[in-house]
Copies of this chain bind each other. A is one copy, B any other.
């Protein structure tokens, strides 16, 4: 499905693995992740992305407690846990007639997260972002002020042996990446009916 030649190796090989080696992530590699996120662009250079690192054991435990149970049992084994946060007031909101205002901070945090994930892959780390967490608890874990949003919690470390995972998760690690066929994600000159089909709807239809 995908042309391998020419794809950036970090994009080609990246998987959001759930098995980690226990080795800590060296401080120098952590700094590369924060720098990769910082070098992501933002409209008007608003730079809304904040990295919150759960370095101490108490901070780690608070952040793990904020994760959904489905993530807790594997993510707790990651040697490095951190969150990406933003204060929406730091960024631009564009009024859009007929729609909710277009807030730019989640797009900007997403770009930074994309850069960070590929940087991680390039130095041999897995950075697995999670969206399913109790935001109030994650925010409280870092004593973030009321307006601040937590957009992702990331489990990071050197990839480990999936054999140590529960069987259902080990199977996920080994499965091929499942992506929409091109016609459902690329439109030329105009929208098409295929673009309106969600990935979930397509999976329900089956192969």
User: A39: which of B12, B145, B200 is its contact (CB, 8 Å)?
Assistant: B12
Q: Which of A92-147 contact B (CB under 8 A)?
A: 92, 94, 96-99, 102-104, 106-115, 117-119, 122-123, 129-132, 135-136, 142-146
Among all A-B residue pairs, the 10 with the closest Cβ atoms = A110-B110, A114-B114, A106-B106, A43-B131, A90-B198, A111-B114, A47-B199, A59-B189, A107-B110, A8-B122
The CA-CA distance from A56 to B187 in the complex, in Å, is: 12
Kindly list chain B residues whose C-beta atoms are within 8 Å of the C-beta of A167.
none
Complex copy number for this chain: 2
User: A31: which of B3, B28, B189 is its contact (CB, 8 Å)?
Assistant: B3
Is A171 in contact with chain B by the CB < 8 A criterion?
Answer: no
Query: B35 to A107, Cβ gap below 8 A?
Result: no
User: How many residues does chain A have at the interface if contact means C-beta atoms less than 8 Å apart?
Assistant: 97
| Nearest CB on B from A13, distance (A) | 10
The CA-CA distance from A32 to B12 in the complex, in Å, is: 11
Chain B residue nearest in CB terms to A97: B136
| Nearest CB on B from A155, distance (A) | 13
Chain B residue nearest in CB terms to A193: B145
The CA-CA distance from A35 to B152 in the complex, in Å, is: 24
Kindly list chain B residues whose C-beta atoms are within 8 Å of the C-beta of A132.
43, 94
Kindly list chain B residues whose C-beta atoms are within 8 Å of the C-beta of A55.
188-189
Task: Kindly specify which of A72-80, A157-165, A177-185 makes contact with the partner chain.
Answer: A177-185
* Given A111-B117, A179-B47; A191-B148 close (CB under 8 Å): yes
